[in-house]
A and B are shown apart, each in its own frame.
With several copies, the nearest count.
Chain A
Amino acid sequence: VGEIRRFLRDDSPVKVSRSIKETAYRIQQARERLTGKLGREPAVGEVAAELGIPREEVVTALEAAQSPASIYETLHQ
């Protein structure tokens, strides 16, 4: 188990790859892009699909972006 843990830590796709703020920024950009394209506010599922992340992660990233000083900054990447 120790070895697997090391393996997963070093090589996991789950590994922290992007900063939370960057994700939040990409969400805002996708939101503007889609609003232009669709002529209306996109639904959360459309934003998630555009970025290839789960809907729930869109929510936690936005929470982080809104209150940068909050604990939620540590929530999403």
Chain B
Amino acid sequence: MNTVNQLKMEFSSRPENVAFARVAVAAFAAQLDFTLNDLEEIKVAVSEAVANAIIHGYGNSPDGIVRVGAVITDRMLEVRVEDDGRGIADVKRALQPSFSTDPDRMGLGFVFMQSFMDRVQVESAAGKGTRVIMSKVPECSGAEAAAARAGH
């Protein structure tokens, strides 16, 4: 079985949409056998990526559009968060723990994404917008865990 369920969303770069995007992606992801803890982690990762698009990508202007895509295949969730904002000149540096271009921020967004998702890829360049692609596979759970316990 290699079914694919697809979701694409686009919304205004308004801060109130961070919470919306978080619960929407979690509601979609809940179709896979994620644990509660997994879903919480996905919510944090999505919040961080969407907040970055709004705050850094669009400099808090509400006129930008944030695109969030989610794909569910048999065993995996992939989430994309994209903006057409100012982009990141040095992606490697941006990914460093506690690096931030804003002295008031903690610079831990990418660290959270990397800790909570299995894989995180960042595509960006100055003036070219940013795309964050993250994926996560449910921990051994449900039927599978039962089967594992039963020694199958």
Contacts and interface: CB of A to CB of B under 8 A. Distances in A.
A63 B36 contact: no
Interface string B20-58: 101100110011011111011101100000000000000
A8 B26 CA distance: 19
Contacts of A44: 30, 33-36, 39
Contacts of A43: 33-35, 138, 141-142
Given A4-B111, A16-B37, A60-B23, A45 B142 contact: yes
Interface string A27-71: 100010000001011111111100000111111101100010011
Contacts of B43: 14, 63
Where chain A touches its partner, the secondary structure class is helix
A55 B30 contact: yes
Contacts of B34: 43-44, 74
B31 A58 contact: no
B73 interface: no
A15 B44 CA distance: 11
Contacts, number: 104
B145 A40 contact: yes
A56 B27 contact: yes
Interface residues of A, number: 36
Given A16-B40, A71-B30, A74-B39, A55 B141 contact: no
A5 to B, nearest CB: 4
Contact of B116 (A5, A40, A47): A5
B14 to A, nearest CB: 13
B111 A1 contact: yes
Given A56-B19, A56-B20, A57-B23, A40 B141 contact: yes
Residue from B27, B37, B116 with most neighbouring chain A CB atoms (10 Å) = B27
Which 5 A-B residue pairs are closest in the complex by CB-CB distance?
A43-B33, A5-B115, A55-B30, A41-B35, A56-B27
Interface of A: 1, 4-5, 8-9, 14-16, 27, 31, 38, 40-48, 54-60, 62-63, 67, 70-72, 74-75, 77
